[in-house]
Amino acid sequence: MIIGASLKTYFSHARTLSWVSEVAAILDEHPARDRVTAFVAPQFPSIPGALERAGRLAVGAQDLAVHDTGAYTGEVSGAVLAEVGCRYAEVGHAERRRLFGETESVVSAKTHAALRNGLVPVVCVGEEDEAGLDAAIATCAQQVRSALADADEAAATGAVVIAYEPLWAIGAPAPATSDHIRSICSGLRSRIGAVDREISIIYGGSAGPGLLSTISDAVDGLFLGRFAHDPRAVRDILDEVDALSG
């Protein structure tokens, strides 16, 4: 199971480091530790400190630049993220698309930037409204195909994580229903099954403890937001993984 968490800009630097230390300690002692790939995406300035404290917990970035080097003031390149020790890069989150105008072509270029630098892109996809299942699956599949469109032969074999996050569930009091999540993720998996690379599908969108047990047959893990702010919630999810494995 892949268990990821994006801290967005909710935490201070000090709280980020405290959270990473606590979660790393939980992960190191938990019986499910060898059955989980866990990662956190903090703010850029906190990445080096998080890496020092992460232990088994991998560290990623919430975004990356299209270009690796050059006169791009304020950008953070995938090459440097990989150099300092990042393993993941979040790409195309709904907030990046909505608030910062990221288009499908930008998402595709950033996915390629992650892959060519040896990072695992966590490509966020999801339908805008609670439409029918077929339409939602088609929308998500098109977003995946678009994100991978720029990947050349040099980046053709890198692993990709697809984070299914229906826009209407992001920040909502509760996630989408288990039946909805299972139907969309199963349908999406069948649509992208012919893609010649390792692809995992995880669910985000108000995901938290108690959800994984009901959707584990259709997903490869969870992408957590605010419901993971308390490290004890991460322990609860690891308990679920342990129970599912047993």
List, by residue number, the catalytic residues.
93, 165
Query: What are 33's two structure tokens?
Result: 């530790």
Q: Give yes or no for a contact between 36 and 1, defined as CB atoms under 8 angstroms apart.
A: yes
User: DSSP H helical segments within the chain, as ranges?
Assistant: 13-29, 47-53, 78-84, 94-100, 104-116, 133-147, 178-191, 212-215, 231-245
Nearest to 76 by CA among 49, 104, 42: 42
Question: Closest by alpha carbon to 64, among 92, 37, 38?
Answer: 92
194: Cβ contacts below 8 Å, ≥ 6 apart: none
For the record, the structure tokens of 174 come out as 């509760």
* Two structure tokens written together for 163: 């984070």
Rounded Cα gap, residues 162 and 120, in angstroms:
10
Q: Position 220: which residue type?
A: D
